Structure 1
């Protein structure tokens, strides 16, 4: 497979312009994110990489419209993001499915809100469940599914509303290594087929290299980008390939230096 692919017009461009975030309470303020500026091209797969608490998830929540930046702005398709929107879908580490609904009804949930007909909902749900390799599980209860299967349902539910941007917050962090590797391959296939713009949060260097077109590495809090890596390794990528392992070592070296510098700063 080629190392690069044309960016599909089904995605939209994200523009970050001086985005910062500070959280306030009565006792103190916490600077989570220092000024962040970049563009994410339509159809690009960008990984946000860094340690816990470095502002990755905060940035994702700002793109989702769940948080407002303290300063700066994010634009999706040229329009400022001020609230959640159907063109952006957010997936968490926990699948967050509705336990009282079966698999197909979970996938149909957003389509029901769009007032699609019952037949259209059913047809789309079955098609998407086939895409995520869950044919035959349409009427299974959520509690009967493995962690990987629940994440597949969550991905199918997100795809059902046809968002241009998919935001993923460590979606495979709780999975075992074999299931995680399988989900990497399935996500890459879906991304390649649909041309969605994906912003993917992870603290796993090899996962970022396996999936991303580009990696933005963040320092410990307050988060700032300390390295940008364009990944040109051919796809599909193996987590054990020598080239990927060597790149991971280089990125980890930068991350450790950033962590040491942050630890040296006065509290």
Structure 2
């Protein structure tokens, strides 16, 4: 892992206003993520995890503070920051290969080079033989593999992943954990990964950041030093997950107490 910081947040907050309704989704937040680091964001629904991810992606503008990536202020979306959702969001009218090539078409690469890169990533995500398949012919896990190949084909510096395995069955999710970890180890992309699953966060992350209930703020920052690869059922993973769960529950209890005092 290189030195420096790939992602830098200072005082970044987000408040949504709709008519008379004001919702502070994310309290002013400071965060540094090193190049090549795999960071997992963990917290209850509505705590601002996805909001933070969309701010980094440039899909939302912060109400306060500034975000920089490689020391450049984030002023909107960029091909260097690719966001993957729980839904694979593939184009159903395109084949697997054409989906993977989609971002490459915006580049100056020749058609032959686009085809070569697409084939390379299709092979890396174990979809060889399905290049010409349509999206509706793929399983949920295969769709996420295709979405991951499309994201990595453009060679971004950062992957932003919003519960990409949340809708998958346990066996498919475990297999994709292994494949994602292998691809990350090979490419050393900076990854910011949102999840509700504490053990998933421990199994995948170099760091696990715990966010409090709304307005979201970082209340725990855990360095995960367990040897890789890790499995959800590993005793050490479960022990570390238990420690993090304690912090998460404490944050939930504090939020409940505050709500009762305000009532």
Pairwise TM-score range, normalised by the shorter structure: over 0.9
Could you tell me the TM-score, scaled by structure 2's length? 0.97
Gaps of 5+ in 1: 1-6
CA contact (8 A) 1:12 1:165 kept: no
1:210 to 200, 203, 213: 203
SS in 1 for 2:173: helix
Q: In structure 2, how many angstroms separate the alpha carbons of the residues matched to 1:245 and 1:118?
A: 47
> Post-superposition shift, 1:8?
5.0
SS in 2 for 1:15: strand
Aligned match of 1:106 = 99
- Counterpart check, 1:223 vs 2:216: yes
CA displacement 1:218-263 (0-9 Å, x = unmatched)? 0111101111100000000111111111111111111111101101
Runs of 4+ residues deviating >4 angstroms: none
2:73 to 55, 77, 80: 80
- Counterpart check, 1:170 vs 2:163: yes
Gaps of 5+ in 2: none
CA contact (8 A) 1:12 1:43 kept: no
Q: In structure 2, how many angstroms separate the alpha carbons of the residues matched to 1:151 and 1:23?
A: 30
CA contact (8 A) 2:44 2:196 kept: yes
Aligned match of 1:128 = 121
2:244 to 214, 234, 251: 251
* Matching of residues 125-204 of structure 1 within 5 Å: 125-204=118-197
Q: In structure 1, how many angstroms separate the alpha carbons of the residues matched to 2:191 and 2:53?
A: 11
Aligned match of 2:82 = 89
Q: In structure 1, how many angstroms separate the alpha carbons of the residues matched to 2:145 and 2:213?
A: 31
Q: In structure 2, how many angstroms separate the alpha carbons of the residues matched to 1:124 and 1:166?
A: 18
Aligned match of 2:22 = 29
SS in 2 for 1:173: coil
SS in 2 for 1:181: helix
| Paired residues, number | 260
CA contact (8 A) 2:2 2:34 kept: no
